[in-house]
């Protein structure tokens, strides 16, 4: 009898436990303040023609549910982190050790360790062939795609200039990231909508415009399509 009462109490407690509210995305353009990577201070800045060579690492798990630019974290997305680039940005990443190439959306600050040029989501790291050790990579920004994101996302320099406040805030579904584009009375134009789709918004896919070169175990040529 006591056992039955105890089980009943446990069941009632489980049912009465409040559910965690769903995380709401707030996708926006951001440069952000200086931050500290290890012992070094890093100063984010706009750079739409960024090119560099350095070390890429797998992103470690984060307790924060949202990325720096307000996306819901997703280990299956083709995304990454960068110390200084404006967010979001679209970049091509080439693994100099195996020749593989992918395109990702940079949407977060990092890596936290100084001397690392790029952090990769688990999916992006797998496709690029990056394991537990850092990999030598070349990073080339897609200037046109990055500029278009800056023009259409809330907080972007072009949006601040062109969009005077009027009406109520509208929301446009950004699809695959589960995000909403909050736009003060301004709807994206067709070319801007196309830019969002190319960057992985507006569908259930994320950019994987690459995965060329030798194919990793478990990967296939089909991974080079958006999705």
Encode pLDDT of 100-109 as tens digits.
999 999 999 9
Name the residue range of residue 112's domain.
35-143+206-218
Same domain, 48 and 126: yes
- The DSSP 8-state label assigned to residue 131 in this structure reads -
Distance of CA 47 to the CA centre of its chain: 17
Out of 85-94, 137-146, 197-206, which region has the weakest mean confidence (pLDDT)?
197-206
104 domain-assigned:
yes
Residue 164 has pLDDT above 90, yes or no: no
- How high is the pLDDT of residue 38? 87
**Mean pLDDT throughout 116-138?**
97
pLDDT of 63: 79
CA distance 121 to 10: 38
More confident residue, 75 or 20: 75
Predicted TM-score (pTM) of the model is 0.70
Of 158, 60, 68, nearest to 106 by C-alpha is: 68
Does residue 40 belong to any structural domain of this protein?
A: yes
Q: What is the mean pLDDT of residues 197-221?
A: 47
Bond from prior residue into 111 cis (ω within 30 degrees of 0)? yes
Share of the chain above pLDDT 70, in %: 62
- Whether 212 and 139 share a structural domain: yes
Average pLDDT, integer, range 157-166: 56
Average pLDDT of the segment spanning 111-126? 95
How many CA atoms within 13 Å lie on the side-chain side of 183?
A: 22
Domain count, the chain: 2
Could you tell me if 136 and 118 lie in one domain?
yes
Q: Is residue 7 in a domain?
A: no
CA gap 217, 109 in Å, rounded: 29
Flag whether 25 is in a domain: no
Residues 65, 171, single domain; the answer is no
d(CA 125, CA 80): 9
Q: pLDDT tier at 156 (50, 70, 90 boundaries)? A: confident
> Which of 214 and 145 is assigned the larger pLDDT?
145
Q: Per the domain annotation, does 10 fall within a domain?
A: no
pLDDT at 219 over 90: no
Residues 114 and 191 in one domain: no
Q: Are residues 41 and 84 in the same domain?
A: yes
Whether residue 184 is found in the same domain as residue 211: no
213 and 187 part of one domain: no
Residue predicted with more confidence, 63 or 97: 97
| Mean pLDDT of the region 53-73 | 92
pLDDT interval class at 159 (50, 70, 90): low
Are 172 and 188 found together in one domain? yes
Supply the pLDDT for residue 67. 95
Looking at the domain assignment, is residue 15 inside a domain?
A: no
Shared-domain flag, residues 67 and 138: yes
CATH classification of the domain holding 87: 2.40.40.10
pLDDT at residue 110 tops 90: yes
Q: Could you tell me if 75 and 187 lie in one domain?
A: no
Tell me the pLDDT of the chain averaged across its residues. 76
């Amino acid at each position: 009898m006591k056992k039955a009462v105890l089980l009943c109490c446990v069941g009632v407690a489980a049912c009465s436990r409040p559910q965690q509210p769903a995380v709401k995305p707030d996708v926006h353009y951001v440069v952000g303040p200086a931050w500290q990577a290890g012992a070094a201070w890093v100063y984010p800045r706009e750079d739409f023609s960024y090119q560099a060579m350095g070390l890429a690492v797998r992103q470690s798990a984060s307790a924060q549910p949202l990325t720096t630019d307000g996306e819901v974290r997703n280990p299956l997305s083709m995304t990454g982190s960068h110390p200084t680039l404006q967010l979001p940005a679209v970049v091509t990443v080439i693994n100099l050790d195996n020749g593989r190439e992918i395109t990702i959306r940079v949407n977060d600050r990092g890596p936290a360790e100084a001397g690392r040029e790029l952090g990769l989501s688990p999916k992006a790291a797998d496709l690029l062939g990056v394991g537990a050790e850092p990999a030598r990579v070349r990073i080339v920004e897609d200037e046109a795609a990055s500029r278009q994101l800056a023009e259409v996302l809330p907080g972007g320099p072009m949006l601040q200039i062109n969009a005077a406040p009027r009406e109520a805030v509208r929301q446009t579904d950004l699809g695959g990231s589960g995000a909403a584009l909050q736009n003060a009375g301004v709807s994206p134009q067709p070319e801007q909508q196309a830019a969002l789709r190319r960057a992985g918004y507006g569908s259930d896919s994320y950019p994987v415009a690459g995965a060329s070169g030798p194919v990793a175990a478990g990967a296939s040529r089909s991974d080079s399509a958006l999705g």
